[in-house]
Structure 1
């Protein structure tokens, strides 16, 4: 009886964490290069994170680029990591509560760089390097950003894939854009102080994979010994992405553990 119960729970766990079949999508265009996290940035320079200057520098050096997309109050797609503008611009306001015209009056990290739109970034990259687009929606089931971003990316001619910490957004992509390469982002949410034990354990251990069916998993390399990540890699053969490597030592240590490497704060050798 006990053995049957354990076997049933194990089967349920493996079902829950199983990703999409590796043969379903072609990820080869994304392999074989490093990815600059938010561009090749220095927040004390004229090329701060997620700025056109930082992304241009990365593209010119042949790096792929991973960047963040949020939506404004008037449903304009902008490239910025934080929802609250305190760190990037010294303002205690939310991107989602501001119009695009209001955001256009802001410069990033004491530079002259403005917050770019997704259109700005796509026009700049222009298919020269592959990109990883992280969709930012801070909790909940609102998928408005998917409705707005998907037609924009549909018209983009370069190689791109989408990812998010929020599985609801990737479930939307599975249903509405099944051919687009989608990825589940995760980390040790509890150690990073996220509230909600059950939800964060489920996210941390990839228990929504049966709904998302991700084509790749992007995981905080610091917690790369996660059991579900290990099983996804070794048993299911999914493509894995390491974020964010901040030294050559970290890059070298993770080179054989992950398929795709995202870096910042140094230039890879």
Structure 2
């Protein structure tokens, strides 16, 4: 005897319809853009030195020309961060403020390039580099993941950063925590592989809880339609796992334990690492 569904005043049917609509809405919001093999091939199956091959003792500082040079020598790809100086130069630096790395109080975008050049990175002889200087060090020898930092001048950063990228002859892709930045590249540079950076919702502690929920669960994909998702090295929410299954390249940040190398390389298509020396390439085919 076939199963019988009893409807009481249409309540069961209403819940079913609402569930279907909710599932379709979530799919619409998180659906990624599946990159072609040709587009992803230069980046696939490689390990990327987080902010260059810097050292735990800071003798080789993060996001320094020395760190990027060391990564090139070892054959690794690199990940780096770009933002704007007060006078509109595209500089390579991670934090919004200079306190942690330079021991100087204030935001990066409150200082001119000349002023930024006077600050030491972690007490060394290294200085904050321009993106163009990193390009010179890399010289097309390894792929680059370029993170654009979100701020009050996002459009200017996208425009100036991309103008410089167009002059570079090596492989690069872009990523950002801000879906609006990823969306800018979808609209203005669709040929560039683009990725959405994300972490667990609770890590967005500077945003209202709803903002952390939206970004941590990739609901901003509706704007960006990223081709890869770079997610924190933690258990992924089901929305992120679904996005992986829908075709986004899987990128992990940041692996820090060599003992965990087998897991992170088996579960991801690109791995961003620091403080150990993995193999340059761990996979050659999808």
Q: What TM-score results when the alignment is normalised by the length of structure 1?
A: 0.94
1:267 Cα deviation from its structure 2 partner: 1.6
Q: Partner residue of 2:284?
A: none
State the SS of the aligned residue for 1:70: strand
Unaligned 5+ segments in structure 1 are none
Tell me, yes or no, if the aligned pair for 2:33 and 2:247 is still in contact at 8 Å.
no
1:141 Cα deviation from its structure 2 partner: 7.4
1:202 Cα deviation from its structure 2 partner: 0.6
Paired with 2:203 and 2:272, the residues of 1 have a C-alpha distance of 21
Paired with 1:206 and 1:117, the residues of 2 have a C-alpha distance of 31
Paired with 1:242 and 1:11, the residues of 2 have a C-alpha distance of 27
Aligned length: 266
Matched, 1:186 2:190: no
Matched, 1:76 2:86: no
Larger radius of gyration: 2
CA separation of 1:24 and 1:9: change in aligned 2, threshold 3 A: farther
State the SS of the aligned residue for 1:217: strand
1:250 Cα deviation from its structure 2 partner: 2.6
Q: What TM-score results when the alignment is normalised by the length of structure 2?
A: 0.89
Which sits farther off after the overlay, 21-30 or 68-77? 21-30
Q: Partner residue of 1:37?
A: 50
2:231 pairs with 219, 239, 262, which one?
Answer: 219
1:190 Cα deviation from its structure 2 partner: 1.6
State the SS of the aligned residue for 1:185: strand
Q: Partner residue of 1:167?
A: 179
Paired with 1:193 and 1:34, the residues of 2 have a C-alpha distance of 29
Question: Where in structure 1 do 4 or more consecutive aligned residues deviate above 6 Å?
Answer: none
State the SS of the aligned residue for 1:54: helix
Paired with 1:32 and 1:212, the residues of 2 have a C-alpha distance of 23
Matched, 1:119 2:129: no
1:197 pairs with 204, 209, 223, which one?
Answer: 209
Unaligned 5+ segments in structure 2 are 1-13, 280-286
Which sits farther off after the overlay, 141-150 or 57-66? 141-150
Could you list the per-position Cα deviations for residues 15-64 of structure 1 after superposition, in whole angstroms to 9, with x for gaps in the alignment? 11001133386101112321100111025344210000011001110000
1:22 pairs with 35, 51, 64, which one?
Answer: 35
Matched, 1:256 2:269: no
Q: Partner residue of 2:165?
A: 153
Tell me, yes or no, if the aligned pair for 1:135 and 1:163 is still in contact at 8 Å.
yes
Q: Partner residue of 1:247?
A: 257
Paired with 1:69 and 1:265, the residues of 2 have a C-alpha distance of 22
